[in-house]
Structure formats: C-alpha cells, structure tokens
A and B are shown apart, each in its own frame.
Chain A
Amino acid sequence: MASQRAGIVGPLLFGLIFMLVGVLGAYATIGDTLTRRAEARRYVAGECTVTGTEIERYQDSEGDTMYRPRVRYVHVVDGQEFHGDRIGFSSFGTSIRSYSEGVLLHYPVGARVTCFFDPAAPEQLVLDKSMSWSILFALIPLAFASVGLGIIIQTLKARGTPKGALPSRKAWRARLEQDGELVLEPRESASFMALFIGGFALAFGGAGVGIAQAAWVSRSVGVWLMALVFLGVGFVMSWWFLWSLLQWMGPRVKLTLDRPTVPLGESVSLRWRVQSWTPLNSVQLELVGQEESTYTRGTDTITDAEVFHRAELAAVPGDGRVMEGRARVELPRDTMHSFHGAHNRVVWLIKLEVDVDWWPDIEQEYEIGVEPWRRKARR
C-alpha cells in the first residue's frame, strides 16, 4: 500500500521551487534597482545638458529585436564635466520602438534638464531617480511565489488525508476537536484558491498599471494596447479574487460526524450548522458517490468524474442567519467503498449548497471515508 501512498514531499518540493523561482525572479527583476534607489536617497538635484540621444537596437535571448532609449548628458560641478548615460536606475528594453521614441521626446539634444548626482561621487548620475514603472513587473514572478505558497499550504493541510485502496480509521479530511467532535474539512481550500487567484490578479494588474504608465510616457499605441490586455486580465482576475475572498470570509459552515469512517450498509449521523452575516435562503445537503479518474493529455492533467450514487440528505428553506440540523447518512450495501489509487479514485462526498442573500453562495464538497461492508452486518 506504501507504493500507492502519495507523499507530500513532491508537492512540497514543487511549491518550494515555485516560491524560490518567484522570489529569485522578483529579485532579479528589481533587486538591483531597489539597491540603487536606496543609494539614491543621498543624491541631490542638478542641471544637465543633453548631448545626444539614440535608440539602441539589440536581440534578446530568443532572437527578437528589442529597443532601448539611450540619453547622453553632461553635468558640470566646480568647472569639471561629468558625463552620464543613465535615464533611470533600471534599463528595460521593449519590442515596441515607439516606446523608446516617446521617452526620447522628453530629452531633446541641447536641452537643459534636471538630473541627480551623488555629491560624494559626482560621476554617479541619473536623470530620473523616481521608482520606475518597471518595478511593477516584479509582481509577475511574485505571482509564482504566491502560487508556490498556496501549494505548500494546501499540501500541509491535506497531509492528514489517508491514501490507499482502503480507507483508514484515521480522520478523513477531518479534525478532531477537543470536545470529541469530528469536523469535516472541505476538499478545496478557500484560502488556497484566494491566494492562487490573488497572486495572478496582482501580477497582471500590477504589470498592467506599469505598462499603462509606460504608455503614458511614450504615447505609443502598441504599449497602450498591451496595457489594456494586461489591465483587462488583471480586472477579471481581481474580480474573481474578490469573489473568492468574499466566499472565504462568508458564512461559517460546520459539518460534524459522529465517527471518522462508516462501513457500507451502515449509517452515520451528520450534524450541520451554517452561520452567516446575511440572511440564508436555503441549505441543501446530498450524499454523492463518484468515480474520479486522472490522466494526462499532452501537457495537461485532466480529472474526469462520474456520479454513481446520489441521495438527498437535507433541503431546508431559509430561516434567519443561523441554520442547523441533523441528517442520517445511509450508505448502500452493494456498492463500492472509498478507494484512493494514485490516478483513480472512488470518493464519497457530502455536497453542500447554501443560498445566501447579498453574498456569494457556498458550494462545497466534504469527503467521508466509506469502509468495505462488515461481515457482522449480515446478521
């Protein structure tokens, strides 16, 4: 059975790698910029004369043509000339030439412009010491870090879930409280979903704002279009994130069983309680037996599900902000017990649907452990 036991090391490692890639990616994107910006606190303003401009053309690692604006300028301190060519502390190129053209419009040759220099080292010059919009691109790798953190949390939360051909007597995605109650936990963690979606919302939204600022500077239509795409995706993801957050903050649900697993042909008592800030319209509970099969198609991992048993446990109309009740969960005898293979599963679920006024509705699944039929039940 050990070979069937899906360890937590793999997912934890996967999550850690995601986090590491995210944090290192963010550092690589903005670490140098942040360090220089910290040094720039002692920089003072001066006046520089623009001596030349150009658009540097180069190939990136994938062979695409990129463009980067270059400005040369001179600063005179006590009669001594100091030459500089940095616009800001970060130097990003883009594939859109008009962005560079837009930036250079602010620095016509011969113009006297404000620049900043280190009084202790006047050769350290920069035209713009403000936080660059490009810093927002660091949010993209940070989204990876957020997803990695979500995977780690989810893995650690699910580590108590028994795996194997037969359900263990151990708690089945449930926690035993001090008063002896066995409280079921939902299969899908709302906090994980919120972190997962929030990470991507932050990345796309942040990058969208950054690109929009770049578009504002450069007045480039291409950059504006790119900004709109990022902002659009960011908006949808943010809305989804908000929805997930509301669900996470929404009504508190507590499902309690009187024993951790139940054999086929027997029943178990289920107590349920829903508490909400806003009025509850209805609560529905049903028992579902379901086959689940996971397979890969190309690079995608797909899980198909097929219901083979469905029975209503409770359907209660709304009654204020707190609703509770009991239901008898009866397992049929001549069917399949819980089965957890590495790729194939037979699961028994309590499905909960709560219709809430003025708040996102709740749809959650709670797995229960169903053991093989016990011979003594034949009597």
Chain B
Amino acid sequence: MLMLDLVDGSCFRPGDAIEGVVTWVCRGAPVGGAIKLRWTTRGKGSDDHELVVNLELASLRRPGESSLDALAAEDAREFSITAPEGPYSFSGALISLTWTLRATLRPDDEEAELELTISPTGKELRLGAAAG
C-alpha cells in the first residue's frame, strides 16, 4: 500500500511549497522509490510531457526526524518541492495542461498519484474565457 498526502491542498502558485508525506506498507523493504513532479498536455494533438522534479525517497527524512535512514517495509517520508514558475495548468479549446505528483516504489512498481494545479491564480486557467 502506497499513499501520497499533501499538507495544504492541491492548488499552488508558482514558488509555493508543495509539502506532503508519502507513506507505505510493504512485505519487504523497498530497494528504492521516488517522487516525481511532471506536466502533461492532453487534447486534440499528440501529448507532450516533461519530468520537472525527481526526488529519490532515500534522500528524504521521516516526519519529525533529522537523520536519513534506510527505507523500511513500513515507512513514511516527508517532502517539500517548490512549485515551478511554469508552465501553468490551463485548459483551452485544443490543449489542456495538468501537473501530476507521483510516488513510486521499487521493485513492486507500486504507484500513487495526485493531480495538482499550478498557476498564479491557484486555479486552472481557462483560455478563451476572457478573449478579447
């Protein structure tokens, strides 16, 4: 079981801290894992995507602890990522862009994913809504 929780909702402005905790319970200690922040476009055309942040779980601390410990079968790690300057989350007539935060564990390939919004308004921008 792998869970991804955010401290303060899923909507962010560029420069905000995206803080949360990833928690897991496995049969054995995982050999590794990561938290990945990426954007993806969807729409009429072919999809584009880009991995922007990739944090190895082994480089993160347990909540409330200051030392780095090896990953255990039942464990939790907290993380903090600065919301990128862009691209913004938006939705238009042809394209929409979404941000996702994904946690993965190896070797079981367990995944947990959350959809985020990153924009200066803290909401998904709607293109064309205020077209001149």
Contacts and interface: CB of A to CB of B under 8 A. Distances in A.
A310 B132 contact: yes
Nearest to B85: A372
Interface string A275-309: 00000000000000101111110000000111111
Contacts of A289: 127
B46 A332 contact: no
B128 interface: yes
Contacts of B46: 294-296, 342-344
Interface in B39-98: 39, 41, 43-48, 50, 85-88, 90, 92-95, 97
B14 interface: yes
Given A293-B95, A306-B94, A375-B14, A337 B48 contact: no
Contact of B121 (A291, A307, A308, A334): A334
A295 B46 CA distance: 6
A147 interface: no
B125 A336 contact: yes
A336 B15 contact: no
Given A310-B132, A375-B15, A343 B48 contact: yes
B130 A335 contact: yes
Interface residues on A, range: 35 or more
B43 A335 contact: no
Residue with the highest number of chain B CB atoms closer than 10 Å, among A1, A311, A336, A372: A336
Given A294-B46, A337-B88, A346 B95 contact: yes
Contacts of B39: 165
B41 A341 contact: yes
A253 B131 CA distance: 28
Contacts of A372: 14, 85-88, 120
A224 interface: no
Contacts of A307: 131
Interface string A326-369: 00000011111101011110100000000000000000000000
B6 to A, nearest CB: 22
B93 to A, nearest CB: 4
A166 interface: yes
A295 B92 CA distance: 16
A343 B87 contact: no
A344 B43 contact: yes
Interface residues of B, number: 29
B45 A294 contact: yes
Nearest to B120: A373
B93 A291 contact: yes
A3 interface: yes
B93 A308 contact: yes
B131 A310 contact: yes
A4 interface: yes
B130 A339 contact: no
A3 B38 CA distance: 13
Contacts of B125: 334-336
Contacts of A333: 120
A355 to B, nearest CB: 23
B48 A336 contact: no
B49 to A, nearest CB: 8
B126 to A, nearest CB: 9
Given A306-B93, A310-B131, A336-B88, A295 B45 contact: yes
A165 B50 contact: yes
Given A336-B90, A336-B125, A295 B85 contact: no
Contact of A309 (B15, B47, B132): B132
Nearest to A342: B48
Nearest to A375: B15
Interface in B1-37: 14-15
Given A295-B44, A334-B130, A337-B88, 5 more contacts: A166-B87, A291-B94, A292-B94, A336-B92, A342-B48
23 contacts: A165-B39, A289-B127, A291-B92, A291-B95, A294-B46, A295-B45, A304-B45, A304-B94, A306-B94, A307-B131, A308-B131, A334-B120, A334-B130, A335-B125, A337-B86, A343-B45, A344-B41, A344-B43, A344-B45, A344-B48, A372-B87, A372-B88, A373-B120
Interface of B: 14-15, 39, 41, 43-48, 50, 85-88, 90, 92-95, 97, 120-121, 125, 127-128, 130-132
Interface of A: 1, 3-4, 165-166, 264, 289, 291-296, 304-311, 332-337, 339, 341-344, 346, 372-373, 375
